[in-house]
Structure 1
Amino acid sequence: MRAILSVWDKTGIATLARRLAELGWEIISTGGTQRALEEAGVPAIPVSDVTRFPELLQGRVKTLHPAIHAGILARRDQPEQVAALAEHRISPIDLVVVNLYPFGEVVRSGAQLDEALEHIDIGGPALLRAAAKNFPFVLPLVDPRDYEPVLQRLAQGGPAAVPLSERRRLAAKAFAHVATYDAVIAEYLRDPRELPDQLPLALVKARELRYGENPHQQAALYHLARPTAQAGVQSWR
């Protein structure tokens, strides 16, 4: 079993990797995540060892390689896809742990366009989308709060111990993470004077409420995850 770890929020990542290694998992990692694991004494394989190709364009191209994405996207119930992996000496990847740098923080720090563009992650969203698309066979993790429950399942019986309903929930969470990320970037790039044909909204839960419009209903308050303070509700009491 193999996992690829590449995270901005490193909360709990060393513990996750250590426990995966104890369960016999092979850990693949990149950049700052790999350094964090090494400092914690957790062995990790550089992604370039898997791709047999160096990072390109000052790190812009690292994980965008068939040796990574085919290992994530292959359906384990399709013999021809499993055979294709074997033919090209690609090992499956069963767990993808990725979370993305909050783009809005870059913009709010006063970054100019060039710097902001450099902070747009391509490889991370691609990894998450691939894992979430293939969630019946691959676990996507974006939230450190999900590490422990998933670890408990894996300790009980490996990936097969994670039920399809939980996999689906994790996939939805991964797609929402990427969609929010993309919506914030789109909001930053568009001309605020225009009325676009499509206007994606990135909403972040601020707090849960006691009840909804009626006492038996659940409710929560959400705010816009905007790259800059423009129109809309920015605070509440």
Structure 2
Amino acid sequence: MSINVVEKIDDIVKVRHVLASVFDKNGLEAFIPELLRINPEIKFFSTGGTYSKIKEIIGDAAESCLTQVSDYTGQPETQGGLVKTLDFKIYLGLLTETYNKAHNEDIERTGSVHIDMVIGNLYPFKDTISKPDVTVEMARGNIDIGGPCMIRASAKNYLRVASVVDPADYDAIISEMKANNGSISLELRYQLAQKAFDYTAVYDRTIADFLGSRASDDVQACYQF
């Protein structure tokens, strides 16, 4: 497998396209309108409850700046929300490198867009496993796949993408964007990436510890054979 070694990037990247999928919606009421005030041309892509929340926050403006991920990808969500953001167009938009000609040709070929910011956080798995009488199957069903993938992809590409997992960072992001004409610096993107990888590492560690604490009999008891 060949690995691209990137030498040229932009220090300051303007935020034009935002992918949002969050469990913790605290702070969105202020954050989303501020993003729009800074850049009225910004476009949001979202799913499920986050889509509904953003639509509620921005009202009539949603018609021109808010898109369901399923409408963007052309693929409906699977039953139970099993697959929502795991799509080629999404990850192309997250992982493309700014000055990679082949990547940009793929963007154009597929009608994708460069995603500049991800707002993403996860349902706390520890809350699931803290419930009385939780089974392995109940826990398994609450393991988020698309969310961590989305967060990790955006954090990996801190070269141009801001990965936002903590509502406590919203104010700092807005301050920087106001100072930089709607753009975010490499310094802040890198700081956000550090936090994002720590966030998903803790999430995965919690899952691994829970599964490791259960015997095979506990697993078999969940299912019919």
* TM, length-normalised to structure 2: 0.80
Structure 2: gaps of 5 or more residues: 1-15, 216-225
Contact 1:142 1:174 in 2 (8 A): yes
Contact 1:17 1:27 in 2 (8 A): no
Pick one of 98, 101, 124 that aligns with 1:76. 98
Q: Which residue of 2 aligns with 1:152?
A: 175
**Corresponding residue pairs, total:** 192
Letter in 2 for 1:17: I
Distance 2:138 2:67 in 1: 29
Structure 1: gaps of 5 or more residues: 194-237
SS of equivalent to 1:162: strand
Q: Which residue of 2 aligns with 1:19?
A: 34
Q: Which residue of 2 aligns with 1:100?
A: 122
SS of equivalent to 1:27: strand
1:137-194, Cα deviation, whole Å (9 max, x unpaired): 10000111111111122233356x422222111101000000000000000000379x
Q: Which residue of 2 aligns with 1:31?
A: 48
The reply to whether residue 4 of structure 1 matches residue 26 of structure 2 is no
> What does 1:49-60 correspond to in 2, within 5 Å?
49-60=71-82
Could you say which structure has the higher helix fraction? 2
Distance 1:86 1:150 in 2: 29
Contact 1:153 1:162 in 2 (8 A): yes
Q: Which residue of 2 aligns with 1:125?
A: 148
Deviates more, 1:86-95 or 1:10-19: 10-19
SS of equivalent to 1:97: strand
Q: Which residue of 2 aligns with 1:218?
A: none
Letter in 1 for 2:43: E
Contact 1:14 1:40 in 2 (8 A): yes
SS of equivalent to 1:82: helix
Distance 2:187 2:113 in 1: 26
SS of equivalent to 2:44: strand
1:101-151, Cα deviation, whole Å (9 max, x unpaired): 110111111232222111110000000010001001100001111111111
SS of equivalent to 1:92: coil
Distance 2:89 2:78 in 1: 16
In angstroms, what is the RMSD of aligned CA positions?
1.6
* TM, length-normalised to structure 1: 0.76
Distance 1:192 1:2 in 2: 42
**Cα separation, partners in 2 of 1:12 and 1:80, compared to 1, 3 Å:** same
SS of equivalent to 1:181: helix
Show structure 1 runs of 4+ deviating over 4 A. none
**Higher RCO, 1 or 2 (CA under 8 Å, sep at least 6)?**
2
Pick one of 133, 137, 143 that aligns with 2:160. 137
